[in-house]
Amino acid sequence: MQDNKTVYVTGGAQGIGLGIAHYLLNTGYRVVITDIDQEALSAATSRLKHSERLLTLVADVSNEQHVIDSLTQAVSHFGQLDGVVHNAGIADPFHGPVEALTLSTWQAYLNTNLTGAFLCAKHAAKHLRKQQGSIVMMASTRALQSEPDTEAYAASKGGIVALTHALAVSLGPDVRVNAISPGWIEVGDWQKPSRQQPVEHRSIDLAQHPAGRVGTPDDIASLTRFLLSDEARFVTGQNFVADGGMTRKMIYAE
Ligand code: NAD
């Protein structure tokens, strides 16, 4: 159990972030969830147990004042901050052909996925230094391999991996900073009802994974918890690929 540890999770109202919040609450952490989506946040609050160890706040991770205010509320509510999980993201990588990609769409990806990571680290650092804390950034295997029409998403996630390296060097030895690059994670069970869709399992998708399946939010949550915990005390500045081996397997056209 991690009775006294408080972790701030961005984009925690649904998907992987909600899975992480659920996992941390069930293993004794105090959890602060921030999200831009009020409706999803309300649904998450009613779904999660251990409400005495949960604080939910509406905040846009790309808005510096929102990040400052929500971190201040988190610390004032629980008295300390031990971990930050920057998970919020525009998670759909496909924005269409690069020739038609508008500057505002490009900036929207960068603002949430990458600038949000910077703002969280910048304003959480002073709290985390006091606790010998830990930051986990949600990158993606798309920082490492690409499909067409994903430039903005790929650049934002590649930026997170490089930011993780730099932060680990700057904030050490007080704060450890690591990234996770999930592969294909099926989040259906953890999405708010209005976004839930039937899961499609095409045989090629399963064949692509040496693990024999796509991932779940729990697969990412257990790695996140490990990286936040003292068990990972000698681990910093790394990017952990959690993809069931997908990026290690060559696929040939049939
Ligand atoms: P999701 O869309 O289900 O959840 C993302 C959450 O972030 C939502 O609740 C959304 O409201 C919130 N959010 C979006 N913009 C925000 C902002 N500006 N401020 C605060 N909150 C904001 O997505 P997911 O699939 O759970 O993905 C979570 C993270 O994991 C993302 O960073 C995504 O890029 C990354 N990721 C996901 C997968 C996957 O297969 N699901 C794979 C690799 C990486």
The domain ranges of the chain are: 6-248
* pLDDT band with cut points at 50, 70 and 90 for residue 95: very high
Q: Give CA–CA dist 209/199, Å, rounded.
A: 17
Q: Within 13 Å of residue 87, how many CA atoms lie on the same side as its CB? A: 27
Closest by CA position to 159, among listed 184, 175, 179: 179
Name which residue sits closest to atom 10 of ligand 1, judged by CA.
11
* pLDDT band with cut points at 50, 70 and 90 for residue 3: low
CA–CA–CA angle 32, 34, 35 (5° rounding): 155
Say what percent of the chain tops pLDDT 90.
Answer: 87
The answer to whether 26 and 227 have CB atoms below 8 angstroms apart is no
The CB of 17 under 6 Å from ligand 1? The reply is yes
Is the pTM value of this prediction over 0.95?
A: yes
**Among 23, 109, 153, 252, which one carries the catalytic annotation?**
153
Q: How far is the CA of 112 from the centre of ligand 1 (A)?
A: 10
Beta strand pairing call for 83-86 and 6-10: parallel
- pLDDT at residue 90 in the model: 97
The CB of 83 under 6 Å from ligand 1? The reply is no
The CB of 156 under 6 Å from ligand 1? The reply is no
CA distances from 47 to 22, 190, 240 (A): 9, 10, 29
The CB of 217 under 6 Å from ligand 1? The reply is no
Q: How far is the CA of 187 from the centre of ligand 1 (A)?
A: 10
Name which residue sits closest to atom 39 of ligand 1, judged by CA.
185
99-136 confidence digits (pLDDT tens): 999 999 999 999 999 999 999 999 999 999 999 999 99
Name the residue of 32, 38, 87 to mutate for ligand 1: max ligand atoms within 8 A of Cβ.
87
CA distances from 136 to 105, 107, 203 (A): 25, 23, 32
Asked about 153 being catalytic, the answer comes back as: yes
Q: How far is the CA of 10 from the centre of ligand 1 (A)?
A: 9
Q: Give CA–CA dist 8/22, Å, rounded.
A: 13
Q: How far is the CA of 12 from the centre of ligand 1 (A)?
A: 8
171-183 confidence digits (pLDDT tens): 999 999 999 999 9
Name which residue sits closest to atom 12 of ligand 1, judged by CA.
11
Sign of the C-alpha dihedral, residues 243, 245, 250, 254?
A: negative
So what's the ipTM on this one?
A: 0.99
Q: Give CA–CA dist 38/34, Å, rounded.
A: 10
| Helical ranges in the chain per DSSP H | 15-26, 38-47, 64-78, 103-109, 116-131, 151-171, 203-207, 217-228
Q: Which pair of tokens denotes residue 164?
A: 């993780």
The answer to whether 18 and 42 have CB atoms below 8 angstroms apart is no
- pLDDT at residue 151 in the model: 98
Domain 6-248, CATH homologous superfamily name and number: NAD(P)-binding Rossmann-like Domain (3.40.50.720)
Q: Give CA–CA dist 244/141, Å, rounded.
A: 11
Q: How far is the CA of 86 from the centre of ligand 1 (A)?
A: 10
